[in-house]
Chains A and B, each alone.
Chain A
Amino acid sequence: MPADDKDPLLTAIDAGAHMLGLTIDPAWIPTVRANLDVSLRLGKLVDDFQLPDEHEPASTFKA
């Protein structure tokens, strides 16, 4: 399949595996993709919520 026709999630999984040093068996890819798809859809719910720049994360470190 030409690179510009490739499913962007599959491209992302390829790149992610490379960056993280993971070897992903081709047989696992459909399920990895399905899980990533769900995560990104839920992530969009989170990302779409507007919060001011000054709003801190819950995980605030105390020195």
Chain B
Amino acid sequence: MNQPAPSRPDAAAPLAAAEIAQAVSSGRSRASDIVAATLRRIAERNPLLNAFTDVTAQRAIARATAVDAAIAAGKTAGPLAGVPFAVKNLFDVKGLPTRAGSKINRELKPSVRDSVLVERLEAAGAILVGALNMGEYAYDFTGENVHDGPSRNPHDVTRMTGGSSGGSGGAVAGDLVPLALGSDTNGSIRVPSSFCGLFGLKPTYGRLPRTGSFPFVFALDHLGPLAKSPRDLALSYDAMQGFDAGDGACVDRPIDPVTAQLGNGVGGLRFAVAGGYFRNGLCAEGAEAVARVAKALNATDEIYLPEAARARAAAYIITATEGGSLHLPRLRTRPQDFDPATRDRLIAGAMIPAPLVDKAQKLRRWYRAQMLELFREVDVIIAPATPCVAPKLGEQTLVLDGVAMPLRANIGIYTQPISFIGLPVAAVPVPLSPLPIGVQIIAAPWREDIVLRVAQYLAESGVAASPVPANS
């Protein structure tokens, strides 16, 4: 068998995951060269972007060598052959302590096994190159971290990436890797996707197993990918699907591959734009982004999500109390080692009266029933992802409808009512100038095929696109 010709190690522009996989699988490129170029880009740009907290260079080089050897031997290396990827540092990575953005967790013993989603991506031929910065213990919408420094937005390094999957947003938007994994409890994939101009997928609650990741709120945690195209989201999502008994919330459903369905278009789908609550406090850029997406999809109807404000409040209560409970042992023994902003929220959360938590869970069941009724009349709901474009680093307040509000608690006002009941969402970036902003494409449970088809249609029409950072 002939050895594949070595590829140019540094292409003019970093390739998408799908292009890399094609090039490596066909022998036009070598995984070793792709990984070497990736590691060089990380070394050059990460000091500024601060997306990576750990670079697993030796592991990546070894994996790339193995992928190249498999292809040289005529074997199939998988649908993500040679694709470099990185994961938020709450994912277990063999040999690393799972720091989850904290000071305390970096004292844990190194993980003895990768998280299930890392294993599945590598089984598909992808190559892990490292772990990514995040807001402490995922209780964050900014991407800032007092222990590891803030993730910086590649579109304007004086601005936030958004969080808590801040490094995931920065790494992909900054072209360090074409694919990253994040987590989303109340918006932590969708917010950095919005601020960094990326496509992000928050699947249905219970679709992708969380086995081998550090939790935040068991009732609300989701895991999912960020990328610069819907195709890359779909490829990674398909590779990661499947039941795992290690996650008590993971639902045993048949795998439903979506990549082959991406080109099915949007014909026959019924669209509506979320009104009312989802228009309150929205900045001009967000309104423009929603309008462009609605126009492209010919979405003329408006739909009102019942009691969205109460749903957001209930998600807030569940988050605060489960988070406070999870961290209580550490708050008792090492409160000084927390980010003060996280610590004081967690302490307060632990003190919320129990009847409010019980009521929040009852409201969750009620709200889910109401939303499923809505999805009898509509297939896709369009809503803004964030109330503003990426704020400046260190910003503490956010102006909503002329009123200054605490920024950290309010960035997720549009994402929380949706993740509260685990609906699948594709965040799509609208490339406004000077900064992008995201829109949520929302469907009924288990209809990731629909949200990704819509994202693909919007990408093909040019309405949604990941803009190249001006200073890249």
Q: Which residues of A are at the interface with B, using a C-beta cutoff of 8 A?
A: 12-13, 16-17, 20-25, 28, 31-33, 35-36, 38-40, 42-43, 45-47, 49, 51, 55-59
Taken together as a complex, chains A and B put the C-alpha atoms of A3 and B219 apart, in Å, by 38
- Minimum CB distance partner of A27 in chain B: B340
Q: Closest 6 A-B residue pairs measured CB to CB?
A: A57-B361, A35-B348, A16-B351, A42-B313, A58-B364, A31-B344
B54 CB-CB contact with A under 8 Å: no
Distance from A47 Cβ to chain B, minimum over Cβ atoms (Å): 6
Q: Which chain A positions have C-beta within 8 A of B368? A: 58
A residues near B437, Cβ cutoff 8 Å: none
Q: Once bound together, how far apart are the Cα atoms of A40 and B372, in whole Å?
A: 29
Total A-B Cβ pairs within 8 A: 103
Contact of A46 among B317, B345, B365 (CB under 8 A): B317
Check if B309 is an interface residue, CB within 8 A of chain A.
yes
- Measured between beta carbons, the chain A residues less than 8 angstroms from B83 are none
Q: Which residues of A contact B375 (CB under 8 A)?
A: none
Interface of B is mostly: helix
Does B348 contact A39, Cβ atoms closer than 8 Å? yes
B467 CB within 8 Å of chain A: no
Determine if B358 is an interface residue (Cβ-Cβ < 8 Å).
yes
- How many angstroms from the CA of A40 to the CA of B353 in the assembled complex? 9
Chain B interface size band reads 35 or more
Give me the interface of B with A, judged by CB distance under 8 Å: 219, 307, 309-310, 312-314, 316-317, 320, 328, 331-332, 335, 340-341, 343-345, 347-353, 355-356, 358-366, 368, 406, 409
Determine the chain A residues whose CB is within 8 A of the CB of B314 once the complex forms.
46
A55 near B362 with CB under 8 A, answer yes
Q: Contact check: which of A12, A39, A58 meets B320 at CB < 8 Å?
A: A39
Contact yes or no, B332 A21, CB < 8 A: yes
Q: With A36-B348, A39-B320 in contact, is A46–B409 under 8 Å at CB?
A: no
Which residues of B are found within 8 Å of A55, using beta-carbon distances?
362, 365-366
**Cβ A57 vs Cβ B362 within 8 A:** yes
Chain B residues, CB < 8 A from A20: 328, 332, 350-351
B362:A28 contact, CB within 8 angstroms = no
Q: Which residues of A contact B348 (CB under 8 A)?
A: 32-33, 35-36, 39
Whether the Cβ atoms of A32 and B347 lie closer than 8 Å is: yes
Cβ-neighbour of A47 out of B347, B351, B355, B361 (below 8 A): B355
Is the beta-carbon distance between B344 and A51 smaller than 8 angstroms? no
Bound-state Cα–Cα, A28 to B343, Å: 9
Q: Which residues of chain A have C-beta atoms less than 8 A from B331's C-beta?
A: 22
* Shortest CB distance A62–B (Å): 11
Question: B266 → chain A, closest Cβ, in Å?
Answer: 31
Contact B363 A49 (CB under 8 A): yes
- The answer for the CA separation of A38 and B316 in the assembled complex, in Å, is 10
CB–CB A42/B316 < 8 A: yes
Could you list 12 A-B pairs, sorted by A, with CB under 8 Å? A12-B351, A20-B328, A22-B335, A24-B347, A28-B340, A28-B344, A42-B312, A43-B313, A43-B352, A43-B356, A47-B356, A56-B365
> By the criterion CB–CB under 8 Å, are A58 and B361 in contact?
yes
A13 with B356: CB separation less than 8 A: no
Contact of B359 (CB < 8 Å), options: A13, A35, A39, A49: A49
**Known A12-B351, A46-B310, A47-B355: A57·B344 in contact at CB below 8 Å:** no
